[in-house]
Structure 1
């Protein structure tokens, strides 16, 4: 019989010889392993009982059911801290399970005060147990195998002569069958009984107490194995093993499956599969319907200038009326995009460009097209990929006006039910028209993940992939397609087996959504009672109404720039106040976090002068622009402070890179509060979008009321990849371990200072990411309104312990692909 001791901490495992204290280095207290900690929570290394807990909270001893006694001593000379920086989470005599949190400690404070943070893990009853294997000189995660203990004098296990055999078949729920860790769990369970227990897989037979024998069975997910038990307590042993095999074996167990899943994900796509960039997550199955744009021909030369001006004015008036009608009949993102198009069709630069060409003798259509393409060329010359994605909006209004001018219809044939639209690209107005036909999904040859069409798809929860390349042209109309906008691929002409598996995923998704909808208005907490707030990212009052309907508990991000863009002058204080008040009213007293004006880079405003920059993403952006425009900033702050009830709206500062920026804004807020006679405190937080903010989260947390991580920008800055550049966009994945580690560090540093941390970027709307974000320490997640109910349902199905263990595994992955493979395996084990 052996006992596996798992690591109680994340860190670097080393020998006791490395401990600068002779009491431990010379094994005076017993043999063991030392860990240089990188995590701040000690967890139980096995199932057992808390035997001792020092009053100072720095040391704890546990006893396993087998009798092994282990001491965990956090740091050296830490008893001198008299409990400062240590928070015991259990009490003496408590029963604990492997992975249960035991002690949380302030990593920074203890490191500064103690001789060393190195943490010995000691077997104190060496007379009864010896260490047969140990893990040293490598990184180790919490709950990973650290030592294997064997009894010094193993007693022979009594075997019953009773020949009665009981057996039961069970289908494995383990995502990758019985590998090392599940085998250890099975063995531990089997050893609690006197009965002989064996597992059978086909003609292979393995002793349940033998890890090697269980591995040799070669099982996989969904395999049916037979459990056989013989002996006095055979019935009880059988029931226990069958119950264990029917589960996923708990949190953190499928570590070996990560490699297998990652390897599978890294294999080349098979014939018939095409990869793309996810613009809007989801699953869709249906026939391919190719969208072909109608070409609109225009004459080069016109009649008289007066006639062409009249024709252009009439066409612009007609097109404008159509756009205005769409805006009036829509809400949320669709209305916002249509409003942007109204501003474009009245743009003075476009009108001046068209007028100039008409004066040169060109036709109204030729003049309008030329003016549009002047602006397109100017945008392309900036090299800013975010702006380049907005070229579609210019092309859109070009086509709408030319359609009105020439009478050429833009609409195509009606969509068949559940079609998957395939196109080179899709314009916002086309999307709005096609959406009425309820397509199942969209796959585009070009396009970008932050284009208006991508935003519209996300708002409608319509699965969409973009930048799929020329291979998409090989798909013929009517071809059956599986669009997986969770894995980022389209499968053409799938096999019957692939169709069945995909249909099962769709059915599971629909069932989850229905359950989520039914419980949408309930407060969100994990299965073990930890409160996690689910908020919504919004830009308009309509978004706020939808968010409330979906069960949002507030707004973690109000994109205030929706008031500032696509116009010639800044909005007044009254206009801003009316908008913010409308959002606050729609959320009926729930928290509203308003991001201050985030202009610059990919979001320019004509009335804010920003000189040409070689790299706009690293120039005047976010709070840098606002501080350079104090009148603009103070007007916005006054509008926010006027919202009633006072304090409902919180202020969030974008693109913070230094503590001085936070201090500057807070000073303005406090001065304005005094001038306006507002006595209710108003919370001011920071948006963590730069590595600088992430790595100084402890400093910011001392003076900020909260921190919220913007994963979109944080990802591109950590990976040094422009998320709007199609050449590198496929690699811009917030699930990259480097980004996750940055998020985890932010949570750790801020939580140690008593500040909560939220996530308001796109990652909070990714179902695969939610367990990891919760495990990393985020206590508020702000998603797109349409995902709020589902997000709450996902979180309710988690325990904090399993989320933390899952997050620890994610941090140890080598790539975003490995993390996503791990996330898929985690999800599969929970279905």
Structure 2
């Protein structure tokens, strides 16, 4: 440990502001380090200390000095001034110059910057001040050259480098390109990248040194995005290891970028919740209103006996066994996430897997075992020590890393203690938990809770998706204070507003109870009415079918009034197994679906799986652009036996006339004709009539543009608006940063839907929609107006969509929808729809 202190003088003249008041999260959340903001009254920036100019922004709006003690002082004039491209700025120094305290660094024109930039507010931060405290010497007006603040404290310095200088070695540097910096997933990628090589790799940053084999050591560096790190490699393959490390840091794969982007969600959501009067604010994951007593699942507790009676060797054997068993479980989660195409989720579990054999964690655990602790207490203490170290770095982004450690800590302890936590809340309770796994939520739903409150989590997580599918009101990211609330106290969850009301008075409870009764009556009315056909006011019938994945879902949809199955996703039948399902197994499954809907049509989509959703028994090469690669019908041609077995199973269901086959990812007429011929050949081989109706999914723009040609050979179309929207707008629908911009009511998407309907009409074929747009009641009149006659939705939305259809006149929908195609964007379309067809 070394005592460090830095005195900084004011670089600008003007009123002082706290960084937390800066309208830019990069500064207000401390991502650039501690410091101060100044609203400048004069257009001159001076050096706050002596040092070397190590970086000047190309647009001259930011300068970084390195103090002789190693501090890096970052100064940034204005907000969004990079857009000025240097206009209004004049440098008085160059990179590499030595400057003294108070020396003029930069001049800028106040009027030019004020008119063109978002704000003149300017910042001074110390980017490598982890572990130091900041003391302000004035809180009023800054005067150039006067003492402004002191950074002081003790910080760990770098360890001595390797002494084995005779070994082959290689050195280099890399700019960390991962969104969010070197957090758990990028660190795991780096560790994985250098592991195959016969060399030791160390990363150096801010006087700290980390072994790349240790995930925890890498995390403690606190490296942020776009910060440069030094890399040292020693060993026979030092050069190869260096190249791999640079590649891993500077050129993350697309799936890792996605994971890093998602990693920021829990971190940012983990900030302390906003408290009003008896309110904890979170994020809506599944809308709705709920009320009930708070209930928490059983906590995981350690045995009172801390010290071992069987010795360190026996305890080590138990810990090793538990680590191995946990690794198997985590690998299963990785495989499951990859099968679903959830690369970001798989990356999270991969980081967890890396923690199980992290050298630093294992070394700490072994030390605690040698001190006489049991395996459970040793593992708990080792993980707890690392969590405390990360928490001490005072960096918001590290909260997610602590969450990763605690998750792994919990998983191993459950096996060591042979504890299976039960989820059995009273019916109608509000369940409060830190977070839940999908399997835990599935078990929880059987108890029929009123709502779900999570301290962590994110609105795009798997649990959130499951909660929405189940119609369970859910709020995530409520913060740690959630877990300190008393149980069995009635609370109100306004999930639509992302609020948990912790102190509702009797009047509020009465009002909510009345509202819930009204909603329940409305749902029941919709459910009963859903048994009848959905007919517009001028007599047009619209089929409202169901999207399902398994038999239980189909039976629920039938009870809710679905007019059939509009989309059976067959992927689940092929996942989580060591070999493909047999023809007989498939036939039994498909037959059960037909029997769940007597006298109703059942549309079964052929296997829609590919490079982004691999299965164990298929040798599918990972693809850089899986959405554009080998998926859907394209996979059927590369694995013809899979397609043949599925088509044979479909040809043998009874009655085959009610079974319609839907082909995914068709992009041209030849593909459809090829499948048609294959069905005829297989029917002849089985000696059955080729009576299957064959439909085409319109989910790529080429299919919509060729709709008239396709309709000459297809029996129907079903539009997959999710994929059609992402391909039309060139936006990955799994990309969290683009989620707000991916809207299927975009005029370009509507034009393709209109073209598909027009092409089908010319050949007398019908068109349905099975994508998420079908469940959007605001879009119902638009789709009817464009020519859609079938909507396939989730079971919970059937009553609502049928009721919406009955409010409309098809002729008026047709007349008004044409004008929507000429609007400039999706927001304008939605605004016009709300004016024309308000949702009652």
TM-score by length of 1: 0.51
Distance (Å, rounded) in 1 between the aligned partners of 2:509 and 2:778: 22
Instruction: Note if 1:405 corresponds to 2:406.
Output: no
Q: Matches of residues 142-161 of structure 1 in structure 2 within 5 Å?
A: none
The residue aligned with 1:87 is none
The residue aligned with 2:617 is 607
The residue aligned with 1:696 is 706
Distance (Å, rounded) in 2 between the aligned partners of 1:406 and 1:431: 22
Tell whether the 8 Å contact from 1:277 to 1:730 is kept in structure 2 after alignment: no
Tell whether the 8 Å contact from 1:316 to 1:401 is kept in structure 2 after alignment: no
Which consecutive residues of structure 1, in runs of 5 or more, have no partner in the other structure?
A: 1-268, 324-335, 338-346, 370-391
Distance (Å, rounded) in 2 between the aligned partners of 1:508 and 1:816: 33
Q: Which of 704, 715, 726 does residue 725 from structure 2 map onto?
A: 715
The residue aligned with 1:758 is 768
Q: Which of 647, 650, 668 does residue 657 from structure 2 map onto?
A: 647
Tell whether the 8 Å contact from 1:733 to 1:816 is kept in structure 2 after alignment: yes
Q: Which of 505, 525, 530 does residue 520 from structure 1 map onto?
A: 530
Shift of 1:603: 2.3
Shift of 1:684: 0.9
Distance (Å, rounded) in 2 between the aligned partners of 1:304 and 1:471: 33
Deviations along 1:166-205, one digit per CA (max 9) or x if unpaired, are xxxxxxxxxxxxxxxxxxxxxxxxxxxxxxxxxxxxxxxx
Q: Matches of residues 149-228 of structure 1 in structure 2 within 5 Å?
A: none
CA pair 661-726 structure 1, distance change in 2 beyond 3 A = same
Q: Matches of residues 226-237 of structure 1 in structure 2 within 5 Å?
A: none
Secondary structure (helix, strand or coil) at the match of 2:768 reads strand
Secondary structure (helix, strand or coil) at the match of 2:534 reads coil
Distance (Å, rounded) in 1 between the aligned partners of 2:620 and 2:570: 19
Distance (Å, rounded) in 2 between the aligned partners of 1:771 and 1:689: 21
Secondary structure (helix, strand or coil) at the match of 2:811 reads helix
The residue aligned with 2:632 is 622
Distance (Å, rounded) in 2 between the aligned partners of 1:587 and 1:564: 23
Distance (Å, rounded) in 2 between the aligned partners of 1:686 and 1:578: 24
The residue aligned with 1:789 is 799
CA pair 472-681 structure 1, distance change in 2 beyond 3 A = farther
CA pair 642-452 structure 1, distance change in 2 beyond 3 A = farther
- Aligned CA-pair RMSD: 5.2
Deviates more, 1:670-679 or 1:431-440: 431-440
The residue aligned with 2:817 is 807
Distance (Å, rounded) in 2 between the aligned partners of 1:505 and 1:812: 40
Secondary structure (helix, strand or coil) at the match of 1:545 reads helix
Deviations along 1:523-581, one digit per CA (max 9) or x if unpaired, are 23222111211111111122222122122121111111111111221111111111111
Q: Matches of residues 502-581 of structure 1 in structure 2 within 5 Å?
A: 509-581=519-591
Distance (Å, rounded) in 1 between the aligned partners of 2:784 and 2:313: 64
Distance (Å, rounded) in 2 between the aligned partners of 1:737 and 1:505: 37
The residue aligned with 2:122 is none
Q: Matches of residues 305-704 of structure 1 in structure 2 within 5 Å?
A: 402-408=413-419, 410=421, 414=425, 417=428, 419=430, 425-436=435-446, 438-442=448-452, 451-464=461-474, 483=494, 485=496, 509-679=519-689, 681-704=691-714
CA pair 404-781 structure 1, distance change in 2 beyond 3 A = same
How many residues are matched? 509
Deviations along 1:333-358, one digit per CA (max 9) or x if unpaired, are xxx99xxxxxxxxx9x999x99x999
Deviates more, 1:293-302 or 1:760-769: 293-302
Q: Which of 732, 736, 739 does residue 729 from structure 1 map onto?
A: 739
CA pair 413-677 structure 1, distance change in 2 beyond 3 A = closer
Shift of 1:666: 1.4
Tell whether the 8 Å contact from 1:393 to 1:427 is kept in structure 2 after alignment: no
CA pair 395-514 structure 1, distance change in 2 beyond 3 A = farther
Instruction: Note if 1:284 corresponds to 2:289.
Output: yes
Tell whether the 8 Å contact from 1:565 to 1:603 is kept in structure 2 after alignment: no
Distance (Å, rounded) in 2 between the aligned partners of 1:602 and 1:492: 41
Secondary structure (helix, strand or coil) at the match of 1:788 reads helix
CA pair 808-470 structure 1, distance change in 2 beyond 3 A = farther
CA pair 567-547 structure 1, distance change in 2 beyond 3 A = same
Shift of 1:680: 5.1
CA pair 454-652 structure 1, distance change in 2 beyond 3 A = farther
CA pair 771-435 structure 1, distance change in 2 beyond 3 A = same
Shift of 1:756: 0.7
Distance (Å, rounded) in 2 between the aligned partners of 1:575 and 1:395: 41
Tell whether the 8 Å contact from 1:286 to 1:418 is kept in structure 2 after alignment: yes
Tell whether the 8 Å contact from 1:515 to 1:793 is kept in structure 2 after alignment: no
Tell whether the 8 Å contact from 1:312 to 1:365 is kept in structure 2 after alignment: no
Shift of 1:816: 3.6
Secondary structure (helix, strand or coil) at the match of 2:541 reads coil
Secondary structure (helix, strand or coil) at the match of 1:557 reads strand
The residue aligned with 1:748 is 758
Tell whether the 8 Å contact from 1:758 to 1:782 is kept in structure 2 after alignment: yes
Shift of 1:802: 3.4
Tell whether the 8 Å contact from 1:448 to 1:724 is kept in structure 2 after alignment: no
Deviations along 1:49-90, one digit per CA (max 9) or x if unpaired, are xxxxxxxxxxxxxxxxxxxxxxxxxxxxxxxxxxxxxxxxxx
The residue aligned with 2:182 is none
Tell whether the 8 Å contact from 1:539 to 1:562 is kept in structure 2 after alignment: yes
The residue aligned with 1:303 is 314
Deviations along 1:407-458, one digit per CA (max 9) or x if unpaired, are 5564589579563x67664322332354355444446687567754244323
CA pair 530-365 structure 1, distance change in 2 beyond 3 A = farther
Distance (Å, rounded) in 2 between the aligned partners of 1:275 and 1:812: 38
Tell whether the 8 Å contact from 2:322 to 2:415 is kept in structure 1 after alignment: no
Tell whether the 8 Å contact from 1:350 to 1:368 is kept in structure 2 after alignment: no
CA pair 453-686 structure 1, distance change in 2 beyond 3 A = same
Tell whether the 8 Å contact from 1:659 to 1:699 is kept in structure 2 after alignment: yes
CA pair 720-448 structure 1, distance change in 2 beyond 3 A = farther
Tell whether the 8 Å contact from 1:417 to 1:438 is kept in structure 2 after alignment: yes
Deviations along 1:664-713, one digit per CA (max 9) or x if unpaired, are 21111111112112225211111111122222222211111111011222
Shift of 1:731: 2.7
Distance (Å, rounded) in 2 between the aligned partners of 1:563 and 1:310: 33
The residue aligned with 1:774 is 784
CA pair 536-350 structure 1, distance change in 2 beyond 3 A = same
Secondary structure (helix, strand or coil) at the match of 2:661 reads strand
Shift of 1:504: 9.1
Tell whether the 8 Å contact from 1:688 to 1:710 is kept in structure 2 after alignment: yes
Tell whether the 8 Å contact from 2:281 to 2:498 is kept in structure 1 after alignment: yes
Which consecutive residues of structure 2, in runs of 5 or more, have no partner in the other structure?
A: 1-273, 334-338, 341-349, 381-402
CA pair 548-287 structure 1, distance change in 2 beyond 3 A = closer
CA pair 536-424 structure 1, distance change in 2 beyond 3 A = same
Secondary structure (helix, strand or coil) at the match of 1:686 reads strand
